[in-house]
Chain A
Amino acid sequence: METPIFEILRSKKDRVLQLWLQVQQMDTEVSNNYNTADELRAQSTEFVDILVGSLNENTVQDFSSPELEALTDYISSLTISRARQGFSPRETATYIFTLKDALLKVLSEQNSDNPQQLYQDSILVSKFIDNIGILSFETFITGREDVIFQQSEEMAELSTPVIRVWNGILAMPIIGTLDSARTQVVMENLLQGIVDTGSSIAILDISGVPAVDSLVAQHLIKTVNATRLMGAECIISGIRPEIAQTVVHLGIDLSQMITKATLESALKFAFNSLQLEVRRTQREKLN
């Protein structure tokens, strides 16, 4: 009488757990990072409970089965929590693969008289645990990618501040290369800043942009045009000699935009068009 593998594991749950904890203790890589043995024991017990609970004749064959959702969710959260605690992915993987040792040992105890059955069961268990390992790795990498994505978004946000220089004048220094995604952020922030402050002049300072090619120039022209549509004026400042050289060599026509060499001259122009005047106060008169 052959007992299905999930039945064996269900009846031998305690044995599996006991063996797994033993293997973990032998493997210093797994055990020495945990604060307490109790913590490890609690986690492993939960793991085995969920694993045995979700195994049946379908799920043991098909890892993508929806019945395994509880298990996959648990593995994902386990991987994330272990990654937060500072475990390397190798440690987490070793932790999962030690379970395979325990399971195989239980199976061999049970089926020692039936090598054919044992062989088949071993392959099933191996595949199953390998899938859990892969899932854990996937979760780990997805988590990493999320962090990277978040950071690059934050960087884009940080590097495009809109500064209100004067009543009615905004300035936006751009540091770093302007690509399409960044231009979008720059444009959105600048236009929103114009709406929020009701400014009629925006200064885009590109002295921190390392190189201007035709694509960057295209983006700049787009931004200037969008500002104009909003009813404000956009001045490009901080055009370094090298930038002027490349722009002319590439044959890009910037003549329709107001361009200034420095932020200072852009500010002067802005004051002029707002009919403002900056003067030195005359001390003699005061005295």
Chain B
Amino acid sequence: MEKIPILKMGKFLLVTIQVDLYDRLALTLEEDLIQMVFKTGSKGVLIDISALSIVDSFMGKIIGNIAGMSSIMDAETVVVGMQPAVAITLIELGLPLSGVHTALNVEKGMALLESRMPPSLDDANDDDVD
């Protein structure tokens, strides 16, 4: 079965959605991602949706869900690279994704996550990983 890869980058998880996201795939992603957050103890999740050109209310809900689940597991979610059409669609659908952080691109998203990590925690985490 098709799967969306979840990459571990330092303290964060990086998900790049490069294919059309159908409902089943989105649900699998939601489950895999939360498992990964639990397994790796990541403090941040970065979802790159710059290749996503079509979005529906279900997708909006899944993104909201991932953010909500991550936040109760003490990980922040940043959605990056949203296309203008996707942003307008989500707003028109009444899904402002208020719990989700956003950034223009992966680089800025990383910087945002980086800036939200308390410095002391960073060190402790690095030790744990090593």
Contacts and interface: CB of A to CB of B under 8 A. Distances in A.
Interface of A: 184, 187-188, 191-192, 194-195, 198-200, 222, 225-232
Contacts of A187: 84, 88
26 contacts: A188-B84, A191-B87, A191-B88, A192-B84, A194-B84, A195-B83, A195-B84, A198-B104, A200-B104, A200-B108, A222-B91, A222-B92, A225-B91, A226-B84, A226-B87, A228-B102, A229-B82, A229-B87, A229-B96, A230-B84, A230-B87, A230-B104, A231-B81, A231-B82, A231-B103, A232-B104
A229 B97 contact: yes
Q: Which interface class (under 10, 10 to 19, 20 to 34, 35 or more) fits B?
A: 20 to 34
Interface string B77-118: 001111110111011100011000011110011000000000
A187 B85 CA distance: 10
Interface of B is mostly: mixed
B84 A231 contact: no
Contact of B88 (A200, A226, A232): A226
A231 B102 contact: yes
Contacts of A188: 84, 88
Contacts, number: 57
B108 A231 contact: yes
Interface of B: 79-84, 86-88, 90-92, 96-97, 102-105, 108-109
Contacts of A191: 84, 87-88
Contact of B80 (A184, A222, A227, A231): A231
Nearest to A233: B102
Nearest to A222: B91
A225 B98 CA distance: 9
Contacts of B105: 198, 231
A227 B105 CA distance: 14
A191 B87 CA distance: 9
Given A226-B88, A230-B102, 8 more contacts: A191-B87, A192-B84, A222-B92, A226-B91, A228-B96, A229-B90, A229-B97, A231-B79
